[in-house]
Chains A and B, each alone.
Chain A
Amino acid sequence: MAKVKSLADLQKLKADLQTKVDLREKGEGAENLVQIKVAMATCGIASGAKQVMEFFMDELEKRNIEAVVTQTGCMGYCYAEPTVEIKLPNQDPVVFGDVDIKKADEIIEKYVKTGELVNGIIPQNYNTIDE
């Protein structure tokens, strides 16, 4: 990676990365791309988030579902760890709590494949700085 040498560089970089993230999130040109974020802070890992993340990566590949699985920080729902956010193309992200391997399997089979919601959704109960 070349160094960011000026303000213009940083702005250009931001715009590029933003488009990249947007592309991924809006799924243009990649209609079947599912985005999965696993909360991997200390609390999540202690509750088994690592195994869940590996399960998602392995199983999605085995089941031929094109998806991006990434880690993220704490979502704040310690009472329901591990927590996982799933974003289907062109839809609002949905957060699921208490996701063990069994739940992860159900999520793939139902929500990811057919869009049918499963028990254990955690509703978003906060505003962001952009609202």
Chain B
Amino acid sequence: MHLLVCGGTGCKASASDALEDKLTKELEEKSLQDEVQVVKTGCFGFCEKGPIVKVLPDNTFYTQVKPEDAKTIIEEHVIKGRKVERLLYLDPETKMHVTDSKHMGFYKKQIRVALRNCGFINPESIEEAIARDGYAALAKVLTEMTPDQAIQEILDSGLRGRGGGGFPTGLKWKLTAKEKADQKYVVCNADEGDPGAFMDRSILEGDPHSVIEAMAINGYCTGATKGLIYIRAEYPLAITRLKIAIDQAREFGLLGNDILGLGFDFDLEMRYGAGAFVCGEETALIHSMEGERGEPTFKPPFPSVEGYLKKPTNVNNVETYANIPVIFLKGANWFNKIGTEKSKGTKVFALAGKINNVGLIEVPMGTTLREVIYEIGGGIKDGKKFKAVQTGGPSGGCLTEKHLDTPIDFDNLIAVGSMMGSGGMIVMDEDDCMVSMAKFYLEFTVEESCGKCAPCRIGNKRLHEQLELITKGIGSKADLEKLRDLCNVIKDTSLCGLGQTSPNPVLSTIDNFYDEYLAHVEDQKCPAGVCKDLMQYVISHDECVGCTACARVCPVGAIAGERKGPHTIDSAICIKCGACIEKCKFNAISIQ
């Protein structure tokens, strides 16, 4: 018998360590330590009801277990085999105790659709992919459906593009399908560029065949016989595994001429990007593949009409493709039951920042931020206070406490001033300065702007300069309004998605953290204590014993004082390196 005790940070905060000790001691007292082991586990994703104890092999799931409950569990459950009713999970709907975790499906907030094979199959083995239904959807579509029927299935599923824009995938296919041309192309956009997002890389590294299969289906539906995968050269492992997968698919006759003897030809090629953010925009991506500069061009003409080499081209993102085979195998009606009214299916998010369970998760659309951050994510690191979460990377916005219960889907996120983007979620706590955060993202966009249109090239540069000044405490309330105006102009007049969304981090932080901006410009203070120029190192004369350690370590000679007398820091000289604080044994130096 095993007693699994949750050792996730959330449960630790509610005394799971003490509980574990208590259980071990109780077992020793009863001389049961050889028959029953206490084992510490990672997070169960149910921190709200922690600490959790799971008993194996009967799968009993106890919630909110206190150290003093240890005795009861051992005496009742372990010795007498009777479950401790009061510690069982109470189903909020039926008000019944749930006796084993196998019947607690509702507590599993995640469902893995796009990630179905990641972490299960050997990505370098087509056999394992086929054993888990790889290429079965392609076979089904080729034998049972006309291209129109297959497109209709995708339309019915309600699948929307996972790259960020959320454009209906079926409609995109339909637009390319209706064009007449001697050659059409389907493209996989694997130019994942948002800082903090890595779901596309994980899918390509973990399940490359799902993308290859979906591209072949896309080819059949749109009438394209050639597919191109545009992937950034910084993803060497994903590239290697894709190449292996493509070779295997060719060897098995699942790519190439006359696939499955059904007269359908389709083959794939790889194209490497140099890692420019703007090349995630489909027209820039297409130009880059053609060997031109990676610059966007005005739409229309849309790629479905005039794309790669001026031929009709359908571009979809990696995660979008990974969903396609499941839709055909399970049916559009299975898929469109997951999610919200206008956003169907699941979304993969990359959780990063000040969160305990950093990682990849996949949740149904409509899951709230609170569920993602506090239950699946295990809450904020080191017990700090949640401040904001940035979704959609540099194009998105930050969401705060008041948005925690907003169901996440394409439209809701836009309504609250952010966006889905590719699914990066960077969590920030009370120690993060929102002005600095906005500045960080602007730095990224300034660097990544291709420079073609003035609003993005010049406007973002000016925005960044303005933010730089604010972090130094220079500016006024009126400047904040100017900042807002400039943001709106850039949004309205930029050529492509990069510029149209780049001011979002600034706008959303001004909206949600106006006081913090004001504190910088009016009081010359950074409430989070991040902006160096607004901090002052001060020596408390009550604590200082005059040991001179700080004065000796100061690299710029900013500290003066008599030996055995109180010392003082000259703020005009101090570079805020923090060396003095580290050296002081008397905690006499503080930041104000």
Contacts and interface: CB of A to CB of B under 8 A. Distances in A.
Given A73-B202, A73-B206, A74-B118, A125 B358 contact: no
Interface of A, secondary structure class, is mixed
Contacts of A77: 42, 357, 359
B237 A128 contact: no
Interface of B: 2, 4, 6-7, 37, 39-46, 54, 56, 105, 108-113, 115-125, 127-128, 130-131, 133, 135-136, 139, 142-143, 198, 201-203, 205-207, 235, 237-238, 251-254, 260-262, 326, 330, 356-362, 376
Contacts of B110: 125-127
A42 B205 contact: yes
A78 B235 CA distance: 17
Contacts of B40: 119-121
Interface stretch (A15-23, A26-34, A58-66): A15-23
A49 B120 CA distance: 16
Interface string A1-31: 1011111011101100110110000000000
Given A13-B130, A125-B45, A125-B110, A73 B205 contact: yes
Contact of B206 (A72, A78, A118): A72
Query: 9 shortest A-B CB distances, which residue pairs?
Result: A73-B206, A3-B253, A126-B110, A75-B119, A125-B45, A76-B360, A17-B131, A122-B42, A78-B359
Interface string A94-123: 000100000000000000000011111111
A39 interface: yes
A117 B2 contact: yes
A121 B39 CA distance: 8
A1 B251 contact: yes
A76 B118 contact: yes
Contacts, number: 177
Interface string A39-50: 101110100000
Contacts of B54: 123
| Contact-residue bracket for chain A | 35 or more
16 contacts: A3-B253, A10-B135, A70-B122, A71-B124, A73-B121, A73-B206, A73-B207, A75-B118, A78-B358, A118-B39, A119-B39, A121-B4, A124-B108, A125-B109, A129-B113, A129-B330
A67 interface: no
Contact of A41 (B201, B251, B330, B356): B201
Given A37-B120, A127-B108, 7 more contacts: A72-B120, A76-B361, A76-B362, A121-B4, A123-B43, A126-B108, A126-B111
Contact of A5 (B109, B120, B127, B253): B253
Contacts of B45: 123, 125
Contacts of B112: 126-129
A123 B102 CA distance: 12
B110 to A, nearest CB: 3
Given A1-B252, A97-B42, A125-B108, A6 B261 contact: yes
A71 B123 contact: yes
Contacts of A18: 131
B113 A10 contact: no
B360 A21 contact: no
A118 B247 CA distance: 40
B130 A10 contact: yes
B233 to A, nearest CB: 14
Contacts of B41: 119-123
Contacts of A5: 253, 260-261
A101 B109 CA distance: 32
Q: Which of B120, B133, B359: most chain A Cβ within 10 A?
A: B359
A131 B334 CA distance: 12
Contacts of B113: 129
Contacts of B4: 117, 121, 123
Contacts of B326: 129
Contact of B127 (A10, A17, A78, A117): A17
A1 B253 CA distance: 10
Contact of B237 (A14, A41, A124): A41
Contacts of A80: 42, 359
Contact of A73 (B56, B119, B356): B119
B237 A120 contact: no
Contacts of B198: 42-43
Given A73-B205, A116-B37, A10 B44 contact: no
A7 B202 contact: no
A113 to B, nearest CB: 14
Contact of B202 (A41, A83, A121, A124): A41
Contacts of A43: 198, 202
Contacts of A6: 260-262
B37 A9 contact: no
A42 B425 CA distance: 19
